Amino acid sequence: MLTQMNKWIDLLNSLIINMSVIIGSTLSFYFVYLKKQTTQNRRYFSFNLEHFPHVLGKPKQVLIGVLFGFLSIVLSLNRTILVGPIPQIDMRYIFIYFSVTFGNPLTGLATTLTIILLKSIAFIMGIGFITTTDYINHMLLTVLLFVVSIYIQKINGSVWKRHFSFLISFLTIKFFSILFVFPILLTSPYYWRFVEYAILFSSVFLITTYIVCTSISVSKSFNVYRLSATFDTDTQLYNKESFHLFLEYLENFQLTTHTSELAISLIDIDNFKQINDHYGHINGDKALKHLSDLLKKHLTANKDFAFRVGGDEFAIMFTHCSHQETREKVAAILDELRTVPVLLDSHPYFLHISMGVNYLTFPESPEKTIPFDKAVLATDRLLYQAKNQGKNQVVNGYNDY
């Protein structure tokens, strides 16, 4: 009785280890991908794994596949025993499906080839006492599951339809591959060994897949809410709330900054109401997008930050460049506005902007700081000075607060 209980405890431990390795590895891969997305571009990024090949280059895709292949071999240490009193569960092949589903065919191919290579080395060196028949069986099963995983991705319908398709395909292939090695499987009571195995594998596969999919879904929902609270949906620039948070951040941490110079700029599109009245609001949105795209083009990611703070009002924080570099970037923005029009109802229209730029220098004394709320108000006065002087111009200020 005690021996039987110990076997069930060993089985439970095996299941937990398998699920932990699969869930932990797959989610680690997803969050590495997500981290890479946010590092590359903090203004806008996708949580859709279809963009995986565009974010991680082919070498990294292959590396992830190789890691999945090694983890598959780790899982294969729990050999499947169908003729013993209690079947052990073997989830080594699930990484082939996951690498294709949550990665791409290249990652899946790398996983498959890694499994084949490591199994071949083990067979040649006599590790694990693998018979020739068993080796051929594993090779065929590995290749077939990779092909099936690729094909399943083309199935139309829900994600779970594809998951169940893989599960049914796997159990069918597994049944005939085991039958090839153990013809005795067709006789009772060994037939029920496979039924037990199928139930255990299906349970682990479905639980693991559910946890992974749910975790990714929750992550997407959380980040969608975070993005909507951080970015302006029309221009993909930071929104007004982010602007005030950024000012608060600078206010609190300016003593630890590694730069001595920065600048605040406020921008207003000239005659924007006339654009909306004459061309309509859809074209007005095109004008906003045109300016925001131009700002993104000339600003340095993670060093300069652009915000949409109102209807046609924008702000820029130049935090990691000298005053001379800021002047050059402002000049480049104005030059392109003069030469590159936006198409409104198929008609070229050159946007004009009024701009106030407040060039700031951090005080050398640690006892003195810049009151950024006052600096923004001073920049706003510079902007309205530009508008009152005829618009379509820049008015500069220096340590104006």
Contact 401, 378 (CB under 8 A): yes
CATH of domain 240-398: 3.30.70.270
DSSP character string of 375-390: HHHHHHHHHHHHHHTT
More confident site: 282 or 400? 282
Question: Which of 20-34, 274-288, 382-396 is predicted with the least confidence, judged by mean pLDDT?
Answer: 20-34
pLDDT digits (tens, 9 = 90+) for 176-203: 877 776 676 666 666 777 788 888 888 8
Element (H, E) at 242: helix 240-253
Q: What are phi and psi of 268, to 5 degrees?
A: -135, 130
Q: Cα–Cα distance between 100 and 152 in angstroms, integer?
A: 10
DSSP H helices in 84-189: 94-101, 105-125, 132-152, 159-181
DSSP letter (8 states) at residue 43: S
- Residue 286, pLDDT score: 93
Tokens of 46: 């996708």
- Going by DSSP bridges, is the β-strand pair 347-349/342-344 parallel, antiparallel, or unpaired? antiparallel
DSSP character string of 74-89: HHTTS---SSSSSPPP
Identify the band that residue 11 occupies on the pLDDT scale cut at 50, 70 and 90: low
Burial bucket for residue 124 (CB in 10 Å: 0-12, 13-18, 19+): exposed
Question: Which of 14-23, 266-275, 384-393 is predicted with the least confidence, judged by mean pLDDT?
Answer: 14-23
Contact 367, 266 (CB under 8 A): no
- Residue 227, pLDDT score: 64
Identify the band that residue 309 occupies on the pLDDT scale cut at 50, 70 and 90: very high
- Residue 86, pLDDT score: 41
Q: Cα–Cα distance between 377 and 171 in angstroms, integer?
A: 68
Q: What is the mean pLDDT of residues 26-30?
A: 75
Place of tokens 């080395």: 121
Q: Mean pLDDT of all residues in the chain?
A: 81
Q: How far is CA 363 from CA 260, 282, 374, in A?
A: 8, 45, 15
Element (H, E) at 266: strand 261-269
15-24 as b/e: b if 16+ CB within 10 A: bebbbebbbe
Closest CA to 315 of 371, 234, 238, 392: 238
- Residue 392, pLDDT score: 92
- Residue 266, pLDDT score: 96
Radius of gyration of the chain (CA): 30
- Residue 214, pLDDT score: 86
Identify the band that residue 359 occupies on the pLDDT scale cut at 50, 70 and 90: very high
Q: Is the pLDDT of residue 300 over 70?
A: yes
Q: Residue 395 in 3-state DSSP? A: strand
Q: Is the pLDDT of residue 92 over 70?
A: yes
pLDDT digits (tens, 9 = 90+) for 215-240: 888 777 776 666 667 888 888 899 98
List all residues 6 or more positions away from 172 whose beta carbon is below 8 Å from its beta carbon. none
The domain spans of the chain are: 2-227, 240-398
Question: Which of 59-68, 74-83, 158-167, 316-325 is predicted with the least confidence, judged by mean pLDDT?
Answer: 74-83
pLDDT digits (tens, 9 = 90+) for 95-120: 899 889 888 899 999 999 999 999 89
- Residue 46, pLDDT score: 46
| pTM confidence score | 0.59
Tokens of 238: 């930071």
Mutual angle of helices 190-230 and 240-253, in 10-degree steps = 80
Mutual angle of helices 58-75 and 2-40, in 10-degree steps = 170
- Residue 269, pLDDT score: 95
Contact 323, 359 (CB under 8 A): yes
Q: How many CB atoms lie within 10 A of CB 74?
A: 14
- Residue 43, pLDDT score: 44
More confident site: 17 or 334? 334
- Name the percent of the chain in helix, strand, coil, to the closest 5: 65, 10, 25
- Chain centre distance of CA 162: 22
pLDDT digits (tens, 9 = 90+) for 242-296: 898 888 877 776 545 556 788 999 999 999 999 998 889 899 999 999 999 999 9
- Residue 10, pLDDT score: 67
Q: Is the pLDDT of residue 37 over 70?
A: no
Tokens of 385: 């000075």
| % the chain with pLDDT above 70 | 79
Q: Is the pLDDT of residue 82 over 50?
A: no
